[in-house]
Chain A
Amino acid sequence: AQTVTQSQPEMSVQEAETVTLSCTYDTSESDYYLFWYKQPPSRQMILVIRQEAYKQQNATENRFSVNFQKAAKSFSLKISDSQLGDAAMYFCAYSRPGNTGKLIFGQGTTLQVKP
């Protein structure tokens, strides 16, 4: 069975600084998708970034980028130039390529952004 682990329950960053959130996962499959979702107090899960395992290039979306280490089964999220609006709970998630609606989530990391 696949598992996703986030070992940092809470992180904090100063506004405009950079922060990295960690995620490790376990799977015996060679092809899969990895995601980072943001959940603000509004509770709606918002997709931040997605990485396909077959792609060696790390995904980037504006200020958000990932460091995907397939052999190490590590998938960290880097947030550059942190903004107050980035404060939220962040979840790492895994899915098979054929079904992105069946997500396996980590426990989450609460990110605090200090002005």
Chain B
Amino acid sequence: ETGVTQSPTHLIKTRGQQVTLRCSSQSGHNTVSWYQQALGQGPQFIFQYYREEENGRGNFPPRFSGLQFPNYSSELNVNALELDDSALYLCASSLEIGYGYTFGSGTRLTVV
């Protein structure tokens, strides 16, 4: 097992730009969830992917989108960045939906 790896660790973007965050899950992990954690707050669920299909979405606008790939990696894409998108973005993966999830260390996104 190599854990869950997220890249980059830190990122600074300008308002209006687009960003792609990446998550590399452990082999065999069929499901991945993404969370947004504002400073000093608890994480909020963005969406979940299971076997490359979206399997549930939280209260986030369509400019937040994702992809999951057959090699157990996934992406979170955010278009038209806003200042309020500044946060820590966490991914978590698991073998199956009802099993325990392993979290990555997150990507700290700053929008200026």
* Interface size, chain A (Cβ < 8 Å): 23
Pick from B31, B41, B92, B108: contact of A108, CB below 8 A: B41
A26 to chain B, nearest CB (A): 15
Q: Is the CB of B31 within 8 A of A45?
A: no
A105 and B44 in contact, given A42-B105, A43-B105, A44-B103 (Cβ under 8 angstroms): yes
Q: Is the CB of B97 within 8 A of A101?
A: yes
A79 to chain B, nearest CB (A): 19
A47 and B100 in contact, given A102-B45, A105-B43, A106-B42 (Cβ under 8 angstroms): yes
Residues of A in contact with B (beta carbons under 8 Å apart): 4, 6, 42-47, 50, 91, 93, 97-108
Residues of B in contact with A (beta carbons under 8 Å apart): 31-33, 35, 40-45, 48, 56, 58, 88, 90, 92, 94, 97-101, 103-106, 108
